[in-house]
Every structure is written in structure tokens, then in C-alpha cells.
């Protein structure tokens, strides 16, 4: 074969190989572009923006005290018949204990009876002490830091809880506030009145008291929906299956929610779960809607 023919053949094979390589790369690129660029829209859970009650609170502890309480001391030998005390409720004027000298022990007010034995060896150990407590209302005296003096006022709502009642909340109100600040503790004394119509709270019980103030009915979103970056806070609002980033101004936090003062409106749907997978103007797939 002549040299010129060999050169022509080589050149043709070279260009054919180049063409094949370019064509192959083009189709391989199209394959991977189709495979990796057309990813499905991320699934998200959205929450409808609604108004909720937000507030600030002062939390402290206090001991439950019966609204009215009285003790009666009697000698055991003076009692006529059996003395029934345990779990006994009496009305005002009802005989608590009939005595031999006719000086019967009479209830000064309606309430629940209790009994305290006097230890052996103590002077008058032949006596016993009967207690009478009006349990329809319980009062709790609490100490509040003086920095809250400008906030405290009679009538403020209070929520009262105890480890003895799991998550049950008793309702109460601030009934009175001391006229002086204790200079040694820099605190002021306030009294909370609690409705105890079912006689669940008993005197001496340690209670957690939360005083509610600055209540406001405002739109709010779940804490999980809000992203905070420095001084900026934002959420993603979903419209037509597209996530739109909205800067918001946030306020109080209560019950896992954050109040929103501006940036979104009532009735909007914000992404509450799946925020990390979303970008502004990206398509999303709504998996669930919570109201």
C-alpha cells in the first residue's frame, strides 16, 4: 500500500474515532443530565397560619394554704362515742365531737376534718388536735422579684400545677399584693386564690405558679417553621406548589409556637417540616396539611 493511501486511511479513522467519542460524550451527558437534574420535588408538611393566644409569664413556687383553717384541742376521755374524723366533711354549725361536759365542738365553717395526734411523753398527750379546713378555695402566697412590681396587679390570671397531678392545670387569680417590698430579698409578696371545688389540692402541698400577663391574640407559626440567621428570621410560604421565602418579625413564644408581627398573613400555609430541603422558588410536594 502506498504511503499516501496509508496516511489518508489513518486520517479518516482518526476523524471517525473523534466523531464517535464526541457523539458518545454528548449522549452520555444527556443521560446523566436527565437522571440527576430532574430530581423529584421534596416532600413537606405545611401548617395553616392562624391566630393564637400568646402571653408572657412569671413562674415561681408556693405552698397551698386553706382559705379558712382552725384547730380544736380536746381530751380523748371527754369524747362521747366514736370520733369520726377521716375523710369527713362538715357543714357550718355541725357537731364535730360530742363531749361529756356538753361543751360540744362545733364547726365554725364548712370544711374537711383532719386529726393530729400528740406524741407520747408530751405534756397533754392524752389530748388530740382536730383540724378543720375550708378547701373550696386554696390560697398560695408567693414572692415575686421587685422588677415585676410594675406588672403585678390584682385580677391577673394564674395557672397552678403540681407533680402530684401530672399535667393538670388549676385556674387561679392574683387576689392581693403586698404594699411593701421585702428589703432583704428584694421581692414582693402576692397571694393567689385557686378554685379547688373538687378538693384535690390539700394544704401544705408545694405548687408551681405561673402568672399570666401581656396577653395578645396574634397569628403564629410552629417554631420548626422559623429559620433564624443572625438578626433575620424567615419562613417558607407555599403557593402553587412553590416555596416562597418570607422575612418575618417575630414576637413571643408559647406552646411550641412563635407569634409573627409582620411578613405573613392569616390563612397562609408555611412549611413546618422539611424546611432544610427547600430553597426559595423551588418546587415542593405537600405531604400533609395541618390546621
For the chain, the structural domain boundaries read 43-54+217-290, 56-62+137-216, 72-134
DSSP 9: H
Confidence class for position 82, pLDDT limits 50, 70, 90 = confident
Is residue 100 very low, low, confident or very high in pLDDT (cuts 50, 70, 90)?
Answer: confident
Phi and psi at residue 238, to the nearest 5°: -100, 125
The answer to whether 220 touches 52, Cβ cutoff 8 Å, is yes
Q: Does residue 77 have a pLDDT over 90?
A: no
Contacts of 132 (CB under 8 A, 6+ apart): 69, 70, 71, 72, 90, 96, 107, 108, 109, 111, 112, 113, 114
Report pLDDT for 57: 92
The 3-state DSSP class for residue 254 equals strand
Backbone angles phi, psi at 31, to 5 degrees: -65, -50
Q: Which of 15-19, 26-30, 144-148, 263-267 has the lowest mean pLDDT?
A: 26-30
* Residue carrying the nine cell digits 375550708: 134
CATH superfamily of 56-62+137-216: Efflux pump adaptor protein, beta barrel domain (2.40.30.170)
Say whether 134 sits in a helix, a strand or coil.
strand
How confident is the model over 127-134, as a mean pLDDT?
Answer: 88
- Residue 153 is given by DSSP the state -
Fold classification of 72-134 (topology level) = OB fold (Dihydrolipoamide Acetyltransferase, E2P) (2.40.50)
Looking at domain 43-54+217-290, its CATH class is: mainly beta
Q: Kindly tell me if the per-residue pLDDT of 183 is higher than 90.
A: yes
Mean pLDDT of 23-34: 67
In this prediction, residue 9 carries a pLDDT of 73
Q: Confidence band (pLDDT; 50, 70, 90) for 120? A: very low
Which pLDDT value is given to residue 150?
92
Q: Indicate yes or no: pTM above 0.85.
A: no
pLDDT higher than threshold 60 for residue 219: yes
The confidence score (pLDDT) of residue 237 equals 94
Amino acid at each position: 500500500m502506498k504511503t499516501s493511501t496509508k496516511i489518508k486511511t489513518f486520517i479518516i479513522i482518526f476523524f471517525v474515532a473523534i466523531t464517535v467519542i464526541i457523539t458518545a460524550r454528548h449522549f452520555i451527558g444527556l443521560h446523566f443530565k436527565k437522571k440527576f437534574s430532574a430530581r423529584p420535588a421534596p416532600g413537606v408538611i405545611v401548617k395553616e397560619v392562624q391566630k393564637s393566644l400568646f402571653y408572657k409569664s412569671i413562674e415561681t413556687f408556693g405552698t397551698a394554704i386553706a382559705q379558712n383553717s382552725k384547730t380544736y384541742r380536746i381530751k380523748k376521755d371527754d369524747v362521747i362515742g366514736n370520733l369520726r374524723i377521716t375523710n369527713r366533711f362538715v357543714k357550718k354549725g355541725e357537731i364535730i365531737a360530742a363531749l361529756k361536759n356538753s361543751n360540744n365542738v362545733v364547726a365554725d365553717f364548712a370544711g374537711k376534718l383532719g386529726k393530729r395526734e400528740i406524741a407520747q411523753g408530751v405534756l397533754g398527750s392524752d389530748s388530740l388536735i382536730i383540724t378543720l379546713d375550708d378547701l373550696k378555695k386554696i390560697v398560695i402566697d408567693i414572692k415575686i422579684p421587685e422588677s415585676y412590681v410594675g406588672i403585678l396587679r390584682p385580677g391577673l390570671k394564674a395557672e397552678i400545677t403540681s407533680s402530684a397531678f401530672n399535667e393538670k392545670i388549676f385556674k387561679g387569680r392574683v387576689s392581693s399584693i403586698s404594699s411593701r417590698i421585702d428589703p432583704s430579698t428584694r421581692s414582693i409578696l402576692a397571694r393567689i386564690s385557686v378554685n379547688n371545688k373538687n378538693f384535690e389540692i390539700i394544704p401544705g402541698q408545694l405548687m408551681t405558679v405561673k402568672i399570666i400577663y401581656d396577653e395578645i391574640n396574634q397569628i403564629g407559626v410552629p417554631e420548626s417553621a422559623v429559620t433564624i440567621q443572625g438578626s433575620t428570621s424567615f419562613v417558607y410560604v407555599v403557593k402553587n406548589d412553590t416555596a416562597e421565602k418570607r422575612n418575618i418579625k417575630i414576637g413571643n413564644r408559647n406552646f411550641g409556637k412563635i407569634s409573627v408581627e409582620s411578613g405573613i398573613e392569616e390563612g397562609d400555609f408555611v412549611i413546618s417540616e422539611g424546611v432544610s430541603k427547600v430553597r426559595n422558588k423551588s418546587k415542593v410536594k405537600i405531604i400533609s396539611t395541618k390546621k
